[in-house]
Amino acid sequence: MKYFCKLYKIIFIFLIILLSSTTVFADDILPTEDNFDISEILEDIESIETSGNLSEIPTINSRAYVVIDRNSNTVLVGKNENQKKKMASTTKIMTALVVIENNNLSDTVEISKKAASTGGSRLGLKTGDKLTVSDLLYGLMLRSGNDAAVALAEYTSGSINAFAELMNKKVSELGLSNTHFVTPHGLDEDEHYTTAYELAILANYALNNEFFAKIVGTKTYTITINGYPKSITNTNELLGNLNGVYGVKTGFTNGANRCLVSACKRSNMDIICVVLGADTKKFRTTDSIKLIEYCFNNFSYVNIEEIITNNFENWKKDNINSFVINKGISNYINLDYDKPQHSKIPVKNDLIDKFNIFINCNTNLESPVIEGTPIGNITLELENQTIYYGNINIKSSIARKNILDYLYYFYKYYSNILTNPPYI
């Protein structure tokens, strides 16, 4: 009997060790050695800036990263940004967006047993707890509560699977071809993935939602569970510590490693930085700060619409008299061009004066010419990369001459001869 008791104890201890070694961490549940002082990182970056050594792309630990300009979705810098990766709790960007777009935020949700038993990072909900959709969203995005994620998914769609369908419907609407969701919380699943670039595009879209932006920009918040207040703090270590950061979401699982999506605005430049697969929380923080500071130090907005317009107007002055409209009532042609989708784009400072513009246009046309007809194109290039391509269009129609036009022409011609006979 004693033998069996000892055996049970050994098996029990073994199971505890086994389970603890395979725990799926998420966000706020991190190994103790991952703690660090963010002020030290900021001081190191500041010293690099002061020495002027931030002109080169910094060395980055993260497996994949990207920084995009929010105004134009232009990629400023990236590595493996189009490779499919696990994204852990950055998943909750989509979860929050879908919930906000499909619910009344003041509705009350009762927590199910399934939601209450969800592992990983938790808000600490129990079966039967009641709180509003709004408070659950704060718990989802600040505390990164997986229990809140499941509760919101069940309330919105009835089940996790049905909610995943809503998430993937949104994926299709946004044109994210390398993104697929299985869960609302982001715990590791083989078919749950995105790319750094598409996650940045998703975050950019989500931040256009006023309530979403308010949540992810909140450092601390007090929610109410069963009528009792509970204070929660944002897991985003950059919020409140790095100049200009106003969101978005942290993430960590064993499969995804450390992930961070950051939105940062300084002056007129607004960017989103995504790092995926960092080895430690310190690396994800350092990587994010390095990339953000690099972009703000090395990029400026350029008004490409102004460049295109100036070159086009000069080209018209030189070429407008070269147009021939065969059998048209006039040879004078009014032209316009397709305006760029974004008038201003960020450009690396040492490339601002290196744009090349090419204008090609057919000057021999057959009447009638119809308003809106493309007759040429404009290409704007930077380092052999096409920044803009658009059509040159006819702005106003020119009709073809008819018999009356020819009779009028002959009438004018011979009238002129009769009134002003040639000198003989």
CA distance 19 to 28: 19
User: Residue 150 in contact with residue 119, Cβ under 8 Å?
Assistant: no
Q: Give the active site residue among 62, 112, 121, 144.
A: 144
Give the integer Cα–Cα distance in Å for 315 and 330: 20
Of the residues 62, 85, 86, 92, only one is catalytic, namely 92
Within 13 Å and on the Cβ side, how many CA atoms surround 283?
18
Contact between 137 and 156 under an 8 Å Cβ cutoff? The reply is no
Is 367 among the catalytic positions? no
Alpha-carbon distance of 123 to 54, in angstroms, equals 39
Q: Residue 20: left (phi > 0), alpha (psi -120 to 50), or beta? A: alpha
20 is catalytic: no
**Could you give phi then psi for residue 235, rounded to 5 degrees?**
-80, -5
Name the active-site residue from 62, 89, 157, 262: 89
For residues 162 and 170, give the distance between their C-alpha atoms in angstroms, rounded to a whole number: 13
Q: Are the beta carbons of 250 and 90 closer than 8 angstroms?
A: yes
130 classed as catalytic? no
CA distance 143 to 122: 7
φ, ψ dihedrals at 14, nearest 5°:
-60, -45
> Does residue 368 have a cis bond before it (omega within 30 degrees)?
yes
Distance CA 296, CA 245 (A): 12
Tell me which residues are annotated as active site: 89, 92, 144
